[in-house]
Amino acid sequence: MLRNLLKSKFLIGVIVLLRFTMKAIIDCNNFYCSCERLFKPWLKNIPVVVLSNNDGCIISRSDEAKKLGLKMAAPYFMVKPFLEKQGVQVFSSNYALYGDLSKRVMETIASILPENCIEVYSVDEAFLDLSNVSPIELNDVVKNIKDTVELWTGIAVSIGVAPTKTLSKIANHLAKTNKEKSNCLLVLDTPDKIAAALKRTPVDEIWGIGKQFAAKIEKLNVKTGYELQLMPEEWFRKNLGGVVGVRLLHELQGSPSIGIDEQLSTKKMVSCTRRFERPLTDLKFIKEAVATYVSRAAEKLRRQQSAVKTLSVFIIPKEFKRGKVYKPLEPVTTQMKLPVATSRTNELIKQALILVEQIFKEGATYEKAGVIFSDLTPDSSLQGNFFSPQAGFGQRYLMSQVDNVNFSMRNEKVKFASAGVAKPWKMKQEFLSSGYTTRWNELRLIS
DNA sequence: TCTGGGGTCCTAGGACCC
DNA sequence: TCTGGGGTCCTAGGACCC
């Protein structure tokens, strides 16, 4: 009798503990494909895929496309005949459209929850802090979030709920693997449910375990998340990246070690890198490409009101004889510290072109280039340098006007001469859909 | 012919200082 | 003959994520 009482008290204790720490992950199902479908209702039940930049490989698949056996990251040119035979609809990625729809989804979620309870984790995912929701209401609250997002935006979502971020990712994954039963929603709110979920989860599907870590774990003959969280802490510390591994263990055991970060933080680095449409040997064209990438990255930089101190440029030579397994060649990189942090496109282009000349080899063929801005500082606190006075108000005003024009018109209506006109290096986008929600002249027409 | 792009965090080890 | 050691900063590189 007493034992039963203690046991129930213990259970109440566990429930109370969970009540205060519940977290959720909500993500959009097959996000890019869903966005394409939203404005083309006739695509319902037809397999759809979205391709990466340059129409390189598959980065989003509808359920029907998954059923056909199409794999994530499959190179487009290799599966093209199959796609045609199966009647799969193919789209180039349209980031302006996806970005806009993502914003709508996130704003909808934020409007339902108390302030500072949402962490936008990626374009199609957000973590939610549900610590203010009572256990009894938990299911209804989560269901309401899901229904509202789907009704207001037309994008289907899945939600996983658990005491930690890592466990909520596991819940979300399980919810999706059995959609009919779960209705894309799974709540792990008791130790038993958590244990059962961990037993169904192979280690390589756990958030935070990639290829390298999975290989180490496999050697121990540990197969599921449940077995993994029984391993000693020291093993995690030694083999899975020190404190990173220890955090992972605690998360699996239900003790929150990764917090919800509500701040929309400013980026610590900004980059723009692209594969060319076709390989280049001409320094002139590579410089044009790099100048364009610098312009893009500088726009991102100014949008978050940062300035850059360290500028890196890389180019990747083309490999002529490839083995069976595709592996890109190592980039040739160089970098410089700027005397004064800046966000001025013309100044950054000038320096970047000097770097390109340093690493470019006459006679070599290149297939990709990129620029990376790191060591960012807030633009408002720019420190002057006695020898190079910082950009005055006029310069910065000019920059913001260039950004505004480009942001609203896309495709760089105003650009710097060094970015070139012919552009033999530009991206391939054969199947680009319209800008439905972001450009007036491409709005959907209802007749 | 054709295999994405943009991020984060952490660690190890060297340089430097006192 | 015997030549320290701890702290801090920086960087490159490795791992992970979507």
Q: What are phi and psi of A214, to 5 degrees?
A: -60, -40
* pTM for the model: 0.87
Structural contact between residues A57 and A76, judged by C-beta atoms closer than 8 angstroms: yes
Q: Which nucleotides of B are covered by protein (CB under 7 A)?
A: 1-12
Q: For residues A50 and A69, give the distance between their C-alpha atoms in angstroms, rounded to a whole number.
A: 15
User: Does the residue A107 lie in any domain?
Assistant: yes
Q: Is residue A356 part of a domain?
A: yes
Phi-psi region of A411 (alpha: psi -120 to 50; beta: other; left: phi over 0): left
Give CA–CA dist A146/A113, Å, rounded: 12
Q: Which nucleotide comes closest to A267 if you measure CA to C1'?
A: B7
The Cα A192–Cα A346 span in angstroms is 60
- Whether A115 and A245 share a structural domain: yes
Taking the alpha carbons of A49, A50, A56, A59 in that order, is the dihedral positive or negative? negative
Residues A184, A295 share a domain: no
Residues 84-123/A with CB < 7 A to strand B = none
Is residue A160 located within the same domain as residue A227?
Answer: yes
Strand C proximal residues, A:123-142, Cβ < 7 Å = 123-125
* Residue A37's CATH number: 3.40.1170.60
A134 vs A16, A140, A169, CA distance in Å?
A: 9, 10, 21
- The CB density around residue A162, as the number of other CB atoms within 10 Å, is 28
- How many domains does chain A divide into? 3
Of the candidates A220, A252, A284, which is a domain's last residue? A252
Residue ranges making up the domain that contains A63? 31-94
Task: Indicate if A80 and A124 belong to the same structural domain.
Answer: no
Q: What is the pLDDT of residues A233-276, one digit of tens each?
A: 999 999 999 999 999 999 999 999 999 987 767 899 999 999 99
The answer to whether some atom of strand C lies closer than 7 Å to the beta carbon of A331 is no
Does residue A48 share a domain with residue A12?
A: no
Residues A6, A148 share a domain: yes
- β-pair partners for A373: A270, A311
Q: Do residues A278 and A217 share a domain?
A: no
Distance CA A443, CA A39 (A): 10
Same domain, A121 and A142: yes
Same domain, A183 and A286: no
The pLDDT assigned to A422 comes to: 67
Do residue A211 and residue A334 come from a single domain? no
Per-residue pLDDT reduced to its tens digit, A295-311: 999 999 999 999 999 99
Cβ-based neighbours of A113, under 8 Å, separated by 6 or more: A128, A129, A145
Q: Do residues A365 and A317 make contact, with C-beta atoms less than 8 angstroms apart?
A: yes
Q: A325 and A287, same structural domain?
A: yes
Tell whether A146 is covered by a domain.
Answer: yes
Task: Find the CATH number of the domain harbouring A371.
Answer: 3.30.1490.100
pLDDT of residue A432: 85
Q: What is the DSSP letter of A75?
A: B
A120 shares a domain with A42: no
Query: In the prediction, which pLDDT does A434 show?
Result: 75
A329 touches strand B (CB under 7 A): no
Q: Locate A89 and state its tokens.
A: 């609809």
Per-residue confidence (pLDDT) for residue A232, from 0 to 100: 96
Cβ of residue A211 lies below 7 Å from strand C: yes
Local confidence pLDDT in tens for the 447 residues of chain A:
445 544 454 445 455 454 458 999 999 999 999 999 999 999 999 999 999 988 999 999 999 999 999 999 999 999 999 999 999 999 999 999 999 999 999 999 999 999 999 999 999 999 999 999 999 999 999 999 999 999 999 999 999 999 999 999 999 999 999 999 999 999 999 999 999 999 999 999 999 999 999 999 999 999 999 999 999 999 999 999 999 999 999 999 999 999 998 776 789 999 999 999 889 999 999 999 999 999 999 999 999 999 999 999 999 998 766 566 677 778 999 999 998 899 999 999 999 999 999 999 999 999 999 999 999 999 864 444 444 444 444 444 444 444 433 333 333 444 566 667 667 777 778 888 877 777 666 666 565
How far CA A103 is from CA of A97, A99, A153, A372, in Å, comes to: 10, 6, 10, 26
Q: Are strands A23-28 and A125-129 parallel, antiparallel or unpaired?
A: antiparallel
